[in-house]
Amino acid sequence: MAREQFDRNSAWLQAHISEIYPLHRGKHICIAGQEVFSADRIEDAIRAATAAHPEDAGWFTRFIPAVKAIRIYAT
Amino acid sequence: MRLNGERLECDNGVVRPVLRAEIQAADGAWRAVELLVDCAADRTVLCAHVVEALKLTGSPPIETVVGVGGPVDSIIVNTVIRVIRDDGKLVLFRGAFAACRERTALDMSVLGRDILDMFALVLDRRASVVAILGGQHTYRIVAV
């Protein structure tokens, strides 16, 4: 169930990403119930998301970098 | 064994190879995460917002994590990553993983070669394939 919810939330984000990213740069977002919740602190985004959609175990988070840039991830 | 990833749009409209997985949080619950499939990364590294979201605590690092911008403030967290195979069964990766403490150091957790080197990795943008193969699965390159 959680995986199905995760897949739905992820697909929803992909469908709306061009609207969501510009609005929430520099913020944490949590996607739950196919809805975005944004906050400066990750725990606040999760709190809002899980309060609005307590049935959704497939929530996930992203941090949207403040600066739109090409990224290299070698660690 | 086959783990299927996807190409997901991330920052600045760039599409990246990503594996959907779950990580065990401090309270024992499994939480959804997206892992960037990064064969250039020596190690799997969790980003700061995932560590915070899962309330994972850690110990001082044994090795220094260095990104393009230089050394990164990191910790070691003991947790389990699990991924659903193409046949529906679960694969568990239990271990001590590096984790960033700086939010800006890494915006996505990366699945590095500490895990990827146990498998064959297929990244094919043209065919839209992101696959991690092991066990009875392999791949073949053919001239067409």
Contact across the interface for A75 and B30, Cβ inside 8 Å: no
Do the domain assignments include residue A46? yes
Query: What is the pLDDT, as a whole number, of residue B11?
Result: 75
Does the beta-carbon distance from B67 to A75 stay under 8 Å? yes
Q: Where are the domains of chain B?
A: 2-133
Per the structure, the complete domain to which residue A22 belongs is given by 2-63
**Percent of chain A having pLDDT more than 90?**
81
Count of domains for chain A: 1
Q: Give whole-number Cα distances, B84 to A35, B2, B19, in Å.
A: 24, 9, 10
B59-107 pLDDT, tens digit each: 887 778 877 667 888 899 999 999 999 999 999 999 999 999 888 888 8
Per the domain annotation, does A44 fall within a domain? yes
List the structure tokens of A5. 């919810």
Which tokens hold the place of B42? 């020596």
Assigned fold of B2-133:
Cathepsin D, subunit A; domain 1 (2.40.70)
Distance CA B84, CA A4 (A): 12
Does the residue A22 lie in any domain?
yes
**Residues 13-32 of chain A whose Cβ lies under 8 A from any Cβ of chain B:** 14, 17-18, 21, 28, 30
ipTM value: 0.78
**Rounded-to-10 torsion of CA A55, B81, B68, B100:** 70
Global pTM? 0.88
Q: Quick check: is A38 in a domain?
A: yes
